């Protein structure tokens, strides 16, 4: 059996958050309100900075599902082009090169993300990857989302379970496989393969990588500074609402100085 390569999406394949790009596209299309966009932006920033417990992830899963209640599946599918317009310019060329080198070495390549399965599928097709594993967030009846959470939210241990299931179906040798991620929440995904690689790691993951002798890739110097590009896009969409809630939450924003 041959190995494969598994890539987390946010801060691994791309700079910043795919969730923010989706929320911005949804707001522009009138699917969610500007206030909801601001709320989602703040929640996402907190998530990226502080991580999330299993209970918080489950709560987020149900909140996302509830927000979809009554929305046509087709309307959400039509957001794909707008979402891709936000994601594609933020992809790390180095990571795409690594992914394609895996394919050329006869290792299939997969995106593994907490984002929706539909987005994982679309991105995999556009990037010519071999497939994607994503979350199933809301059940569907008569072409509309019901708002009831269903399926699996791919976070933490759930990513490792999904990878093991895929490996069993496709005959993938996990001992000869690679996994790439930036976050300590993905330790289950990283340790399920024989070759874990950390990308722009948070402090906790960096410590684990150094202890385990894992490869470390650094693709930018932003570290944990909230990803300036993502913050600028959110500020443009949510304006003072987002900044006000951020300050109320006690989060300090560090922006680069401009040289005059």
- Which domains does the chain show, CATH number per domain? 5-248 (3.40.50.1000)
Yes or no: say if 35 and 107 are a contact pair by the CB < 8 Å rule.
no
Instruction: Give the active site residues.
Output: 8, 10
pLDDT computed for residue 71 by the predictor:
77
Residue 39 C-alpha from the chain's centroid: 18
Predicted TM-score (pTM) above 0.85: no
List, for the chain, all residue ranges whose pLDDT scores fall below the cut of 70: 29-61, 64-65, 67, 220-260
pLDDT computed for residue 17 by the predictor:
78
pLDDT computed for residue 127 by the predictor:
95
Q: What are the angstrom distances between the C-alpha of 259 and each of 62, 256?
A: 45, 10
Phi, psi of 217 (to 5 degrees): -115, 135
CA atoms within 13 A on the CB side of 58: 4
CA atoms within 13 A on the CB side of 33: 5
pLDDT computed for residue 29 by the predictor:
64
- Name, in order, each residue with C-beta under 8 angstroms of 64's C-beta and a sequence gap of 6 or more: 137, 138, 149
pLDDT computed for residue 69 by the predictor:
75
CB atoms within 10 A of CB 30: 8
């Amino acid at each position: 059996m041959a190995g494969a390569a598994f890539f987390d999406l946010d801060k691994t394949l791309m700079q910043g958050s795919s969730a923010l790009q989706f929320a911005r596209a949804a707001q522009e299309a009138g699917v969610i309100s500007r206030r909801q966009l601001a709320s989602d932006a703040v929640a996402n920033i907190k998530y990226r900075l502080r991580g999330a417990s299993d209970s918080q992830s489950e709560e987020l899963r149900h909140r996302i599902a509830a927000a979809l209640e009554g929305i046509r599946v087709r309307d959400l599918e039509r957001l794909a082009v707008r979402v891709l317009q936000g994601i594609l310019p933020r992809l790390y060329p180095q990571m795409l090169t690594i992914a394609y080198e895996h394919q050329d070495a006869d290792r299939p390549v997969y995106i593994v993300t907490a984002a929706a399965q539909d987005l994982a599928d679309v991105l995999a097709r556009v990037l010519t990857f071999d497939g994607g594993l994503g979350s199933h967030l809301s059940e569907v009846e008569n072409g509309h989302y019901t708002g009831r959470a269903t399926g699996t939210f791919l976070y933490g241990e759930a990513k490792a379970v999904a990878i093991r299931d895929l490996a069993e179906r496709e005959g993938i040798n996990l001992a000869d496989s690679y996994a790439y991620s930036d976050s300590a929440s993905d330790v289950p995904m990283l340790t399920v393969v024989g070759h874990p690689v950390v990308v722009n790691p948070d402090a906790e993951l960096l410590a684990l990588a150094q202890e385990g002798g894992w490869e470390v890739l650094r693709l930018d110097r932003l570290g944990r500074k909230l990803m300036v590009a993502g913050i600028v896009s959110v500020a443009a969409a949510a304006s003072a609402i987002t900044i006000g809630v951020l300050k109320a939450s006690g989060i300090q924003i560090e922006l680069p100085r401009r040289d005059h």
